[in-house]
Structure 1
Amino acid sequence: MTIPEGNLKGNVERFTGFADLYDQFRPEAPKLVVDILTSYLEKRPGLVLDLGCGTGLSTLIWKDYGDRIIGVEPNGDMRSKAEKKRQALPGAAHISFVPGYSNSLGDIGDESVDIITCSQSFHWMEPVGTMKEAGRVLNEGGAFAAYDCDWPPTIHWKLEKEYLQLLEKADLLAQQLTDGEDQAVKRNKNEHLKVLKDSGVFRYTREIVFHNKETCDAERYTGLALSQGGLQTVLKQGSSELHPEIEDFRNHVEEYFNGETKEILFSYRMRLGIK
């Protein structure tokens, strides 16, 4: 499909080629997201729109809590993985995954949506057009929520430091290895709330912080690092420069977990707007 003006090819293609790995290790959106947004809405949503839905980790949690759920995802690999999961899920006929962009929701009717979510995705979107479209499709009193978890998840400072160093080097290498027009551009997540406020779409905005504990073993903690787009960009370019750092990180993670499963803490920041 044609990329609408304001969107970047690099932001879409960044997630090509590792949908299975991404889906295996990334966290599913916590149930607290549903609880918070339905509480603000004060009713069961008729239509939930999940923009930049990826492999459906933030879409399928709505299965039992909305009359109709649509995941919008421009990346074909990610969307195909989401659709395979939907087909294997009983009672999911009211869920669909469609190609599309957040600033071009032409098939979604005016004032037809109760809740819009952007999980780990709003920083890849063209913000002005996205806000305009959100204002168009949201019902009066509808909720827009852009939420992200902090990286890395909390477990131990030494592992976290090594995780951050690995990702920092990966991001620098990704820039060096990628042509300018193909580079991904990540917007500052700390500006999300300001974008919502400045849009004029919402009568009320705020930031909500919450946490979610999940179980994790060494394979998953390493997999979380490997699922980061910058690192995957380097590997897809055929570079072996990160291999020593990846192996060192893997060994240190395995040493720390020592074959055990431990709890890790995902910390979330939700920027919320009520139309």
Structure 2
Amino acid sequence: MIEHIRTNNVQRFTGFGALYDESRPTAPQELIQILTAYLGKKPQSVVDVGCGTGLSSFLWLNNAERIIGVEPSDDMRAVATAKWESMNKPASIQFVNALSHELELPADSADIVTCSQSFHWMEPQSTLREFARVLRPGGVFAAYDCDWPPVINWEIEQQYMKLTSLGDQRAVELAPKQEQAHKWNKDEHLKQIQSSGLFRYAREIVFHNWESCDWVRYANLALSQGSLQSAIKLGASELESEAAAFRQFVEEAFAGEERRILFGYRMRIGIV
């Protein structure tokens, strides 16, 4: 059962790596400052699990001696690798194909393990056991997520949520039960860390970051949500007209200007 879920969750991210990479935010420098403070030194090794297109891995360049981005989706990892090649292949970073519960890394080899927008796609207890295995004593695990939608105004946000909720609904309706992805509750992340018995300290940290955004990017943030993409791939053609209407609404609301939007982050950490 779990293996079917893992396979379905990986396949969910097929076919929209470029859209994801162009739209999604990179976490602010506060993330590095917080995790480095908990570690007490500059990390030698950071393992970024479920790294997608590498947005959360490249963040650590010049802030860690070695970065390993772990991503089982070939499409997502290909985008990360292409970016790495365009940067003249920095030796401090690499991208590998592995699953969260089978990292194929030595024990006690990582200072920090991160999951950016990804821990809810992983079976938590087997994953946490693997993370605790690869972390050195005193090492830090951090799962961090954005709150969706990013803050701008209530009318745009309302339309965003309407579109993505419809995508959620249609993805469930159209996918055979045995092929549906499974998302673990993000609100349970801290409890999962605490109840695992693997971490001597755990807590939640909330922070935020303002970014400039044009209408195209804001619209694409909604369109990069996996449920919407899954529903369209499964044949929910009516979502294409809904998406087009949302894009037009956002374009008119932005009126040709860039706007400041706020990304809220929730991070749950555990110290081994």
Q: Output the TM-score relative to the length of structure 2.
A: 0.97
Q: Following the alignment from structure 1 to structure 2, what is the Cα–Cα distance between the partners of residues 41 and 194?
A: 21
Deviations 1:97-156 (A, max 9, x none): 000011112x21111110000000000001111111111111111000000000000001
* Letter matched to residue 20 of structure 2: Y
1:93 CA displacement? 1.1
Query: Higher mean Cα deviation, 21-30 or 186-195?
Result: 21-30
Q: Which amino acid aligns with 2:81?
A: E
**Aligned residue number for residue 174 of structure 2:** 177
How far off its partner does 1:201 sit?
Answer: 1.0
Equivalent-residue separation in structure 2 for 1:239 and 1:270 (angstroms): 34
RMSD: 1.4
The residue identity in structure 1 corresponding to 2:67 is: I
**Cα shift readout 1:63-103 (whole Å, capped 9, x = no counterpart):** 10111100001100000110111111246211000000111
Assess if the C-alpha contact under 8 Å between 2:5 and 2:180 holds in 1: no
Task: Please say if residues 206 and 273 of structure 1, whose CA atoms lie closer than 8 Å, have aligned partners that are also in contact.
Answer: yes
Q: CA contact under 8 A between 1:6 and 1:126: conserved in structure 2?
A: no
Give the aligned residue type for 1:74.
P
Structure 1 residue 270 displacement after superposition: 0.2
Note if contact 2:232-2:240 (Cα within 8 Å) is conserved in structure 1: no
1:4–1:245 CA distance, 2 compared to 1 (3 A) = closer
Q: Which amino acid aligns with 1:36?
A: I
TM-score by length of 1: 0.96
From 40, 43, 46, the counterpart of 1:42: 40
Q: CA deviation at 1:4?
A: 8.2
1:232 aligned counterpart, secondary structure: helix
Cα distance in 1 for partners of 2:47, 2:189 equals 18
The change in CA–CA distance for 1:122 and 1:46 in structure 2 (over 3 A counts) is same
Pick from 51, 56, 59: which aligns with 2:57? 59
After TM superposition, give the deviation of residue 6 of structure 1 in Å.
Answer: 7.4
The reply to whether residue 255 of structure 1 matches residue 252 of structure 2 is: yes
**Distance in 1 of aligned mates of 2:161 and 2:8:** 22
Residue 23 of structure 1 corresponds to which residue in structure 2? 21
Instruction: Give the aligned partner of residue 106 of structure 2.
Output: 109
Structure 2: state its 5+ residue gaps. none
Deviation at 1:43, TM superposition (A): 0.7
Residue 121 (structure 2) aligns with: 124
Report the equivalent of 1:215: 212
1:187 alignment partner, SS class: coil
Instruction: Tell me the equivalent position of 2:270.
Output: 273
For residues 184-224 of structure 1, the C-alpha deviation after alignment (integer angstroms, 9 at most, x for no partner) is 11111000000000011111100000000111011001000
Query: When the two structures are aligned, how many residues end up with a matched partner?
Result: 272
For the residue of structure 1 that corresponds to 2:193, the secondary structure is: helix
- Of 158, 165, 168, which aligns to 1:168? 165
Q: 1:34 to 1:148 in 2, by over 3 A?
A: same
Q: Is the 8 A contact 2:5 2:181 kept in 1?
A: no
CA distance in 2, matches of 1:5, 1:30: 34
* Bigger Cα displacement from structure 2, 108-117 vs 175-184: 175-184
Hey, what does 1:84 align to over in structure 2? 82
**CA distances 1:154-207 after superposition (whole Å, capped 9, x unpaired):** 001011011111111111101111111211111110000000000111111000
Aligned-partner Cα distance in 1 for 2:26–2:206: 17
Aligned twin of 2:139: 142
Matched, 1:227 2:228: no
Q: Distance in 1 between matches of 2:234 and 2:195?
A: 38
Render the CA deviation track for 1:17-42: whole Å, top value 9, x for unaligned: 00000000111122211111011111
Which residue of the partner structure matches residue 95 of structure 1? 93
